[in-house]
């Protein structure tokens, strides 16, 4: 009978130690959680390459929509092109000492405006000419901005996967 309290005491002591260990563990986890919550989420910034990927997407869909006579969709994609160009200008992108933002403003925006006007006039003939000039504006900058190998082309109604020429420049006609 005398042994019982001793066993009980040992069990109690073991429990107290366990609780202390657990509490310390919880407080450590709390500290980690506070640290994670205090850290601000990294803002998501797109690089010029990713933004250009969007330009390629908008110009492609713009061409396909206009060719299909869907002027509403064409106006939408022309607007997306303009918004994305405005984002590049606002971000004042400079790459390899070249002021890409200013080049977009002076060379690309007027070409986009020309296409937007053709879309508003719902004229396939004017659209074709202005769209071709827009593609030239894209490629002229690529040539000057040391990425001449990125050769955008007009959309292919036959459904080519990319509106881009992948053959190296020296074999392009
Ligand atoms: C003012 C110069 C300039 C203009 C105008 C311009 N680009 Fe670019 N583009 C660049 C540069 C510089 C890069 C390389 C970006 C990088 O460093 O990742 C690039 C990269 C690209 C890429 C490669 C990214 C990818 O996803 O494959 C594509 C596609 C592209 N441009 C499409 C276009 C299209 C379409 C237009 C016209 C609507 C256009 N660009 C107009 C300068 C320009």
**Residues 62, 109 share a domain:** yes
Contacts of 109 (CB under 8 A, 6+ apart): 82, 85, 86, 89
- How much is the pLDDT for 2? 63
Whether 73 and 154 share a structural domain: yes
Between 158 and 82, the higher pLDDT residue: 82
151 closest CA partner among 170, 138, 133, 134 = 138
pLDDT at 172 over 80: no
Which residue range(s) make up the domain with 9? 1-39
Residues 59 and 7 in one domain: no
The CATH number of the domain holding residue 160 is: 1.20.120.290
Look at residue 100 in the predicted model and tell me its pLDDT. Answer: 93
Which phi and psi (to 5°) does residue 121 adopt?
A: -85, -5
Same domain, 129 and 158: yes
pLDDT at 171: 52
- 57 lies in the same domain as 35: no
Instruction: Judge contact between 103 and 145, C-beta under 8 A.
Output: yes
CA of 52 to the centre of ligand 1 (A): 5
At 170 the pLDDT is: 67
Least confident of 2-6, 51-55, 60-64, 81-85: 2-6
Query: What is the number of structural domains in the chain?
Result: 2
Average pLDDT over residues 8-28: 93
SS3 143: helix
pLDDT tens per residue across span 143-156: 999 999 999 999 98
Give yes or no: residues 64 and 133 share one domain. Answer: yes
**From the alpha carbon of 144, which atom of ligand 1 is closest?**
2
In order of 92, 131, 171, 173, the CA distances from 45 in angstroms are 14, 29, 36, 37
Same domain for 136 and 77: yes
Q: Do 10 and 52 have their domain in common?
A: no
The percentage of residues in the chain with a pLDDT greater than 90, rounded to a whole number, is 79
Which is more confident, 118 or 33? Answer: 118
Tell me how far apart the alpha carbons of residues 167 and 69 are, in angstroms, rounded to a whole number: 30
Residue tagged 């977009």 (tokens): 104
| pLDDT band at 35; cut points 50, 70, 90 | confident
Residues in contact with ligand 1 by the CB-under-6-Å rule are: 48-49, 52-53, 55-56, 59, 81, 95, 100, 103-104, 107-108, 137-138, 141-142, 145, 147, 150, 152
pLDDT greater than 50 at residue 173 = no
24/20 Cα distance (integer angstroms):
6
One domain, residues 113 and 29: no
Would the pLDDT of 124 be above 50? yes
């Amino acid at each position: 009978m005398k042994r019982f309290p001793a066993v009980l005491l040992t069990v109690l002591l073991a429990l107290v130690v366990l609780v202390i260990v657990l509490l310390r563990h919880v407080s450590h986890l709390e500290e980690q959680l506070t640290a994670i919550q205090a850290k601000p989420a990294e803002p998501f910034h797109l690089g010029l390459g990713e933004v250009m990927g969007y330009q390629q997407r908008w110009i492609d869909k713009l061409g396909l929509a206009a060719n299909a006579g869907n002027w509403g969709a064409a106006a939408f994609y022309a607007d997306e092109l303009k918004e994305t160009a405005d984002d590049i200008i606002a971000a004042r992108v400079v790459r390899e000492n070249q002021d890409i933002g200013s080049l977009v403003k002076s060379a690309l925006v007027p070409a986009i405006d020309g296409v937007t006007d053709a879309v508003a006039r719902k004229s396939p003939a004017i659209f074709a000419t202005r769209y071709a000039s827009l593609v030239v504006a894209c490629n002229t900058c690529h040539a000057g901005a040391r990425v001449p190998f990125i050769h955008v082309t007009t959309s292919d109604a036959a459904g080519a996967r990319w509106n881009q020429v992948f053959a190296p420049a020296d074999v392009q006609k």
